[in-house]
Each structure stands twice: as C-alpha cells, then as structure tokens.
Chain A
C-alpha cells in the first residue's frame, strides 16, 4: 500500500487525446449494475434457454423424422423456433430493461451528475451511447447470447451440415432482431428515464407504455391495424420478417418498421431535450 502525501503533486502522465468516453460510461454502468444483483435476473432468464437446449438435443438426436415431430410444428428446430424463443424472452427482457435502464438517466439528473459528465470531454452522443451500451449488454445477455448459444448447440449436435446450410442466416437474424429491440425498447427506456425524475416513475411509465396498448389491441382485435398500438405486436411483426417466418398479424410489416423508427426517433428527441449539462430556470 503506497503512502500518500497530503499535498498536491502534479501528475506526470499523459491523457489519451480523444478518449472513448462512451465506452468508459458503458463499462462503469455495467459494473455498477452487476454489483446490484443483475445476475439473479439473468439466471432467471436462462430457464427457458435450458429447456430449449434440452429440446434441441432430444429432437435432434431422437425426434427428427418421427411422426410426433412431423405432427407437432412447435417441436421443430427451424427459424420459427428461434423467433419463438426470442418472443418468449419478452418478459425477461422487459424486466431487465426496467431494472437496468429506468435509473440510468433519472439518477444522473437527480444527483446533478450531468454537470460532471459534460464538464469532461463527453458529448450528448457519448453519454447516450454509453448508457445504451449498458442496456445493450444486459439485453444481449437475455436475447442475443442465449439465442446464439442455442444455434451453436443445434449445429454441434446435428449429425450433418443440412441444418447449417438451410438456416445459415439465423445468427444474423438474431443479431438484427437484437439491434431492433435495443434501438426501440432500449432507447425508449432511456428516454423515459430522462423524462422522469425518479427511477420508479420511469419504470411505471415504461411498464404502462408496454401494457396498456396491449390491452387496447385486445379490445380492438377485430381491427387489423390495432396491433400497431402494441410494441410487442409491432416487434413480432417486424421480427417475423427478419427470420423469414409467417407473419403473426395482418398489418403491413412496413407499418411496423415505421412505428419502430417513430418510437426510436421520438425517444432520441426526448433524450436530447432532457439530457442537459445544467438546468436553466428561465
């Protein structure tokens, strides 16, 4: 343990000319959340993964080509399987996003931390990217990583290269789906965190935005376009296009993409409006 003098000494080192501050922000945020017990959420989110992994093993080794496998579509290991797995992770993803994202900007605003950030060589995009990296990391742990692992398991337990030849695009579809989720749901939770002053209100608001439109969709189920109200439905519809599977809703996938772009754009605007170095009282 070095002995420190209680006086000021100049630092002889040199600064990195253009520090990648977004990486510093992201890494520090990831570490902080990890210490807060994110591992418990993540372990919970891996229960479906283990079930699916067992399914892949059993179906590949013993089930393929059997009458049962042919009869029950959901047992087949194909693009639908991976799309379905990602859809099944929805609840865990939302919980992770709320736990990880609701306080990311709200707490910084509450403690005036933005002044400290912006007095360093940090710009708005560095800050926003850093915070989004935190969300992306934890989002990846419950979507991208297990889905990729499932694909690898399937390839490994397969006797031949037929599956790989047929579904070589699936890892890219998983990645595209993940990026779509981060760019929409991830940026949305950041925007709500910036708009709210407390973590709790950001979490409640986020939950409400995801739940109430789902109820409206249920009530207006006879109207095909009602699905556009629900982010879950919109993501399913857009995701189906990415995996090349049959669309679950009748509304146009272009409309689904437009809704997602709109949500992301609006979220960035809110974030830009609320993330300011200092509060100016006019």
Chain B
C-alpha cells in the first residue's frame, strides 16, 4: 500500500542531500535550496483513477512524488503511461484528484502543461518540419518567443546529439533520432517537471546508454524534476532516487531506491561444507527462509529479530563447516519481483 507522508520524508532527504551538495559547490547567490523547496512536492495524487470503458488502468492511486528523479516502474500494462497521461490531461480522469506543483490537473491543465515536459512513448512527430523546426515549434507552443525558441532549439539539439541532423525533415530520422527529438521537444522550454515515458524503448544498446546519459545530465544539471516511466529496472536504478512500483493500475511499493534495496536486512548468503540438507532443515525449523542461490550458495532470510548467531548455531548443531557468511545484497529487481510476484499470487 502506498504510504502517505513518505514523500515528505523523501523530500526531507532530498533537501538534506541538496544542502550537502551545495556545501561542496561553489557558492552561487542565485541558487539556493529554497528554490527547490518551492516545488519539492512535484505531484500529489488522491484516489486518482483512470478508466477506459470498463477497464480501470489506474486504480485509486494515492501518492506523492518529491522533487528529483522518480522512477515509475512496472510491467507492461501496469498503468504507468495512463498515470502520466492522466496527469497531463491527455486522458480523462474518472475520479480522484491530482496536483502538479500545487495546480489541479483538471482545472489548470494549460498552466501545468506550460511548465511540464512530456516525452511520449509512441513515435510522435510533427510532419513536414525539420528537427530545428519541430523543436522551435514546440518551444513556441509552450510560450517561448520565436527567437528564444530558435536559439534554445539549436542548443538543445546539439545537447541531444542531433546538431548535425537539425535541418533534416523529422520523418527521415532513424528510431534513435526520433527518441532524441522527442526528448528535445520536451525540454526546449526548460520545464520544471519532465515526464519520460519509456525513453529507451526501441533503441539499440549504444543508443540506450546515450539516452540514459542524456537523462542523467538533465537530472543532474537542470533544476527540473524527472518522472521516468519504464519497465527496465536498471534504467530506474541508474537515474532515479525514488521509485514507485506499479502493477495492474495500483501502486505496490514506493520509496527511495537506496532504502528499498536496503530493506532486505536479515538476508544472508551462506556457503557450507558438509550435510547441507540437515543444515537447511534445521534453519527452516527455526523459521528461516532458505533458497538455493548461485554457485552452491544458500540465500538465508532470518526471522524478524534474529541475528547471524542463529546461522552459526545451525552450523554447529548440524556439524557443517561454514565457508561463507555475507549479508545478502538486494537489487531493485529483487524488490520488484518480490512485489509483483506476491501480488500476482494474491490475485490467483
């Protein structure tokens, strides 16, 4: 279940981190943490539901995204794209409410769209325009003057690696270039919040890496918050500080990526020599969860409140020699599989 108030904790941590970073940065009087604090609750959702006919794509979601980069993680059909489209007013909201930087997504749709960037998942182009033409056009639609949009368009196209191709018609672009131009049109007006929907989909490994590099640069250099919707775990691990795991339109887990990774405490990787079967049985009797790991290792999860002494005791009791005992490392993938798997079982 989504935890209310978690975003506040995330924001507190974000601001703390930000303060830490600013201590090491050269002091710039124009940049202060308060500027971030002004929009540190990027998105707030309350019982937010998106429905297509009888199908509920997003089911009564209540959550808050803090500033910084947030990953929306989930398998295909989890409702990530629908959630973003609902926030942008691209699909009607069935029930509930949502605020983006304090503005209602229903009543102040245009004002929100002006300060938000959106990179859609599908191929989206404005036909007949050149690369620079499309980015300039996007800037003008967002409210930039023609001259500003043109100048900024060139800058953004160079930044996204399309500098050489900026006078080519966008219809002639390759798949990777189309992804880049979508990113360019989304950031030309320097939005405060950027929604990226599967930004690396359809890209080759090199292109994917380059796209992630770009997103990382934007996330680190710019003042904008990023919401990255993807089903690729490593992308979230690389880019995002916060993560929201979704499946079947509902939020299953949310929190800081580092915290989720670390929440696997009480898990150990063990290797023994001797009667392994007896050792496993002994541990299971004591309430441990034991599963075979890689390279003849055992993944042991201790019951709540128990410490490694239990494993040592088990080894002693079953007369096995303990060759390895290290804390288990949980990746985001472990959390994801655990949550998605548990929910799937619950649905059966």
A265 to B88, CA, bound (A): 28
Query: A4-B158, A15-B143, A108-B127 are known contacts. Are A10 and B190 too (CB-CB below 8 A)?
Result: yes
A16 at the interface (CB under 8 A from B): yes
The answer on a CB contact under 8 Å between B91 and A278 is: yes
The answer on a CB contact under 8 Å between B124 and A120 is: no
B273 at the interface (CB under 8 A from A): no
B301 at the interface (CB under 8 A from A): no
- Choose, from A17-25, A74-82, A173-181, A228-236, the stretch at the interface: A17-25
Q: CB within 8 Å of A: which of B94-153?
A: 109-111, 113-118, 120, 122-129, 133, 137-138, 140-145, 148, 152
A121 to B117, CA, bound (A): 11
**From A8, which residue of chain B is reached at the shortest CB distance?**
B221
**From A11, which residue of chain B is reached at the shortest CB distance?**
B190
The answer on a CB contact under 8 Å between B138 and A5 is: no
A5 to B214, CA, bound (A): 13
The answer on a CB contact under 8 Å between A121 and B222 is: no
A87 at the interface (CB under 8 A from B): no
Q: Across the interface, which residues of B come within 8 angstroms of A4, CB to CB?
A: 154-155, 158-159, 163
Count of chain A residues with a beta carbon within 8 Å of a chain B beta carbon = 41
The contact string, 1 if C-beta is below 8 Å from chain B, for chain A 3-37, is 01111111101011111010011001000100010
The answer on a CB contact under 8 Å between A122 and B221 is: no
Q: Across the interface, which residues of B come within 8 angstroms of A272, CB to CB?
A: none
A interface: dominant SS? loop
The answer on a CB contact under 8 Å between A280 and B148 is: no
Q: Across the interface, which residues of A come within 8 angstroms of B80, CB to CB?
A: none
Query: A112-B120, A112-B124 are known contacts. Are A6 and B159 too (CB-CB below 8 A)?
Result: yes
**From A32, which residue of chain B is reached at the shortest CB distance?**
B128
| B171 shortest CB reach to chain A, Å | 7
A281 to B77, CA, bound (A): 13
- The one of A8, A11, A36, A113 in contact with B126, judged by C-beta atoms closer than 8 angstroms, is A113
Q: Across the interface, which residues of B come within 8 angstroms of A25, CB to CB?
A: 141
Interface centre among A21, A119, A277 (most CB of B within 10 A): A119
- The one of A6, A15, A24, A111 in contact with B114, judged by C-beta atoms closer than 8 angstroms, is A15
A282 to B122, CA, bound (A): 17
The answer on a CB contact under 8 Å between A15 and B189 is: yes
A221 at the interface (CB under 8 A from B): no
Interface centre among B152, B155, B186, B187 (most CB of A within 10 A): B155
Query: A4-B154, A11-B152, A13-B144 are known contacts. Are A118 and B125 too (CB-CB below 8 A)?
Result: no
Q: Across the interface, which residues of B come within 8 angstroms of A73, CB to CB?
A: none
The answer on a CB contact under 8 Å between B140 and A19 is: yes
| B117 shortest CB reach to chain A, Å | 8
**From A19, which residue of chain B is reached at the shortest CB distance?**
B143
| B77 shortest CB reach to chain A, Å | 12
Q: Across the interface, which residues of A come within 8 angstroms of B114, CB to CB?
A: 15, 19, 120-121
A122 to B159, CA, bound (A): 26
B167 at the interface (CB under 8 A from A): no
| A113 shortest CB reach to chain B, Å | 5
Q: CB within 8 Å of A: which of B179-218?
A: 185-187, 189-190, 214, 217-218
The answer on a CB contact under 8 Å between B126 and A108 is: yes
A116 to B91, CA, bound (A): 14
**From B121, which residue of chain A is reached at the shortest CB distance?**
A115
The answer on a CB contact under 8 Å between A277 and B52 is: no
B329 at the interface (CB under 8 A from A): no
A117 at the interface (CB under 8 A from B): yes
B223 at the interface (CB under 8 A from A): yes
**From A277, which residue of chain B is reached at the shortest CB distance?**
B90
Given A6-B159, A8-B159, A111-B126, 18 more A-B residue pairs with CB atoms under 8 Å apart are: A4-B158, A8-B214, A11-B189, A11-B190, A13-B152, A15-B142, A15-B144, A16-B143, A17-B143, A18-B143, A110-B127, A115-B120, A118-B89, A121-B111, A122-B113, A277-B88, A280-B52, A282-B53
